[in-house]
Amino acid sequence: MIQVRVRPGVEDKIRGFFPWVYKPEIIGYSKKPEPGDLVVVRDYGGRFLGYGYINPQTNISVRIMSFEKDKPIREELIRERLKQAYDYRSKLYINSNAYRLVHSEGDFLPGLIVDVYDQYAVVEFTTYGMNKLRNWVIPALVDLLKLKGIYEKVNEYAASIEGIREQGGVLHGEVPEEVTIWEHDLKFIVNIPEGQKTGFFLDQRRARRLVRDFVKPGGECLDVFCHTGGFALSMIKAGAKSVVAVDISEDAIKVGKRNAELNGLSGIEWVQANAFDFLRKLHSEGRSFDLVVIDPPSFAKNRASVPNALRGYKELLVRGLLLTKPGGYLAIYSCSFHITREHILQTLTQAAVDVRRQVRVVAESMQDLDHPWILQMPNTLYLKGVYVEVV
């Protein structure tokens, strides 16, 4: 196995279970590595630090999978980690037949995402090294879950960085284009091949439940970036009189309407539009709402894009605050780890000052329990939600 030696001082964070080694931290190899090769990471003096896989073409060159000398990366380790991930979810109260089984570094399987939708699983291999281990991963999933089918989605952004050739499609059994899942007291249609991410935003399960606490019986609500209606349906189910749900995707709006019909719910006005333009239109018409939910896509794919992303958040928050009735509530989310909780609070403060609306924070949320994050890597806590009352 190829030996990778790191610079003096780097060993401290690795011994503290930080699982990444950046390219500038490497001072030498026992031989030239190829993308996806398995490696042993050693400190400057040659002492063992961990087993991982390498992609010398990327800034995050090594991702460590095992810090134990007697546990090298083998098929048995993959099976052990998948079983541990399954056992953890089995202990949780996930009131749904859809959940995240593997959350990459959060489950000590960097570069692997596995979401389960009833009797089907969707996988993403987001690193070159994990992609090379697919022949260990897929049989292990079949044996563990007894699934009817496994489908691979391609994360094009990650694939472009890692140099992975796009694959995708059915890897095992048969997978229908659509699957119906349930969450609490609602049902949702999931289009596995065409849906966002792996098909549904499972990480917002907790938030969809929490939002119900802010619904005023008979109130008027607004769901911005509504996707297929997770928040909109939850608000109607909680007793809202009406919800305006807006998204730029025609396909998402169509599925949202079908989800409302599937649950026998009415009172949602579905609007296909650019969210920024639509919020300005609502304000010009003098509209206002008892609850405004804003759940935008990731505006910040990397650190360099943060300033532009914050400008986008500022615009959304200004418009959202102006559209919230006095005594009403506004919820704002970020699904990018580059946009921190502090970024959100600071931008929210600036927006409140600009529109001269006093707010107070009444709740916060994060990704649900089946999306664990590890303490040594704050960027594994990527989803943040802040809920404010607009006084």
Give the catalytic positions in this structure.
335
Question: Parallel, antiparallel, or unpaired for β 242-247 and 220-224?
Answer: parallel
CA distance 288 to 235: 16
Task: Reduce the DSSP state of residue 2 to 3 states and report it.
Answer: strand
Nearest Cα residue to 190 out of 265, 268, 115: 115
Q: What is the dihedral of CA 63, 67, 68, 71, to 10 degrees?
A: -20
Task: Reduce the DSSP state of residue 150 to 3 states and report it.
Answer: strand
CA distance 257 to 265: 10
DSSP state, 357? -
Two tokens, residue 129: 């090294």
Backbone phi, then psi, for 103, in 5-degree steps?
-120, 55
Q: Which residue has the tokens 């007291």?
A: 185
Its sign, for the CA torsion 299, 310, 368, 75, is positive
Two tokens, residue 89: 């979810």
Helices (H) and strands (E) in the chain, counts: 11, 20
Which residues, including other chains, have CB under 8 Å from residue 135's CB and lie 6 or more apart? none
Residues for the chain: how many in total?
A: 391
Nearest Cα residue to 138 out of 163, 158, 121: 121
Give CA 295 to chain center in angstroms: 12
